[in-house]
Amino acid sequence: MSKGKSNYTSQLRYKFPLPIHPIDDLPLLILHNPVSWICYLYKYMKSHNRLQKRIHVEINGDSFPHILVEDQGQMIYLWDNGFFGTGQLSRSEPTWRSRTSIRLGINDDTLQNEQSAKSQVALEKLTERRRQQRLEFKRERDKSEKQLLELRRKGGSIEEEEALLEKEREALREYKANQLLKSVDEEEPNELRMEDENLIDENGRIIKLESLQLMPVEAIFLSYALPVIDIPIPELMERLCGGTVEYETIHKLITRYVAYHHYRSHGWCVRSGIKFGCDYILYKRGPPFQHAEFCIMVMDAEVPRDYTWYSTVARVTGGARKTFVLCYVQRLVSQDKILEAWDRKDFTTIFSSYKVAEVIYKRWVPGKNRD
């Protein structure tokens, strides 16, 4: 399975793009049937969008707060509904526990109701497999190059060489197609190592080791914009920035959040772009469905950087075939106004006092743009 070919399970699993679900189980409303009106009304009045129980977050550390979600079910919930946070022992999706249970051959019943355990292959596994296949393909290609050399040594003509090349190309193409068709094999449980015993508690279950870490902007979004985590926004902001603040200390967090919220609210799945040398990357729907298409750099509108900086980032993002977007965040009111609102804990005023504008930056090669 590669990205873009989403299957039915993932459609079900990632059905909701946000951790607050819409009320979508209302009964059918039939105009000429008053009973259905009552049914509908009753159901409508009874249901609400709130979560049953808000997700608990721990914040550890003072100068660099770590915002952690530790409950296994809640970790998975945040990942499945909008792809928030990163598993500390995984690449992004918190899969350590299910990977370990497969590796050790332990049937963990706490994982049974989560589809992630077996039906879903972890992203880490996929990448590993892709690398393996690439290696195998290269070996195959080496073989055909050796054949060509053999032919040359024997003194074959150019026509013979071309025929051989054509044949080999066809064979390689077929090899690649077959590779893609192969499904991911079920992994055999590995042998237990000494240290693996520490991973299992007295009931034979895998202990809780991994937690999900949220970026500060994600935590703000889940507290301020959607009531999902159990820390109120004034408290969270104080924890992140300290009690009394200067404008300089909050400026970066505010602009970054403004950009984050802007893209989230238009339906993008926004994740950290640090792997591509930028602030955010934007996925349509989410990482299991498509590769990220855009790299976002959050910029202060009036602070230019050295050209080398732009060209560096553009090269890296261009190399990963992503579009590089400069997201300029402009402050519309004075710094004092922002600080005033900060003291009032009026974050809506703060965030809506900034405006975003975007510019696409792309290397242009004259020779490729002549007609």
Partner 1 sequence: MSIAIPANIQISAGEDADLEDDEQTQDWSEIAKLSRTNEAIAVIPKRGEKDFEPDETNMQELLLYRAQKAMFDTLTNFIRGSIIKSQVKAYYIPETHLAYIPQPRGNFMNTMGRATSSGDFFLQFHEFVYLAERGTVTPFIKTEELDIPLSIQDLYVLFKDQNELDTFAIYAHLKRLGFIVTSADDTSYDTTSFYAPSSVCSKRSHLQLLYNALTGSLAQQKISLHNRWFFSPWNFYFQKYTSSPQLYRGLNTLIPSTNIPKTVIDLRGTFRDTVQNENTDLKINFNVWKPQTNYKKKSPGLPDYQVVIYNKNDPSSHFPTYSEIKGIFNSLDYKFEFLQEGMDWDASTYTNGIKRSEYLTSLKSKAKQKKSSDNPMNKNVKTRRPASSFSPQVQQLRRLRNGFRTFLLAIMDDGIISFVKISEADFGSENVWHSPMLHKVRKSPFNRNKKNGKNVEGPQKFSASTIEKK
Part in contact with partner 1 (CB under 8 A); list of ranges 87-95, 109-117, 134-142, 260-268: 260-268
Burial of 78-108, coded b for 16+ CB within 10 Å and e otherwise, reads: bbbbbbbbbbeebebbbbbbbbbbbebebeb
> Cα angle at 358 between 337 and 14, to 5 degrees?
95
Catalytic annotation, pick one of 77, 261, 280, 322: 322
The CB-of-152 to partner 1 minimum distance in angstroms stands at: 4
Q: Which of residues 208-227 bind partner 1 (CB under 8 A)?
A: 224-227
Asked whether position 166 contacts partner 1 by CB under 8 A, the answer is no
Near partner 1 by CB under 8 A: residue from 161, 170, 187, 230: 161
Q: Residue 195 burial by CB count (10 A; 0-12/13-18/19+): exposed, middle or buried?
A: exposed
DSSP labels for 53-67? SPBP-EEE-SSS-EE
Part in contact with partner 1 (CB under 8 A); list of ranges 92-100, 103-111, 112-120, 146-154: 146-154
Quick check: is 146 catalytic?
A: no
* Binding track over 233-252 against partner 1, x by CB under 8 A: --------------------
Near partner 1 by CB under 8 A: residue from 40, 137, 175, 361: 361
Near partner 1 by CB under 8 A: residue from 37, 171, 304, 344: 304
Q: Which amino acid is at 313?
A: V
- Nearer to partner 1 (CB atom), residue 74 or residue 81: 81
Part in contact with partner 1 (CB under 8 A); list of ranges 97-105, 117-125, 129-137, 311-319: 311-319
User: Could you give the 3-state DSSP secondary structure of residue 52?
Assistant: coil
Tokens representing 94? 């918190």
Question: What is the DSSP code (8-state) at residue 18?
Answer: S
Q: Which of residues 116-135 bind partner 1 (CB under 8 A)?
A: none
Cα–Cα distance, 367 to 255 (Å, whole number)? 38
Quick check: is 283 catalytic?
A: yes
Please state the separation of Cα 288 from the chain's center in Å. 8
Tokens representing 324? 């590089």
Please state the separation of Cα 302 from the chain's center in Å. 30
Asked whether position 159 contacts partner 1 by CB under 8 A, the answer is no
The CB-of-366 to partner 1 minimum distance in angstroms stands at: 5
Query: Who contacts 216 (Cβ-Cβ below 8 Å, separation ≥6)?
Result: 65, 67, 240, 253, 257
Quick check: is 322 catalytic?
A: yes
The CB-of-46 to partner 1 minimum distance in angstroms stands at: 10
- Nearer to partner 1 (CB atom), residue 65 or residue 318: 318
Near partner 1 by CB under 8 A: residue from 256, 262, 271, 331: 262
What amino acid positions are annotated as catalytic residues? 283, 291, 322
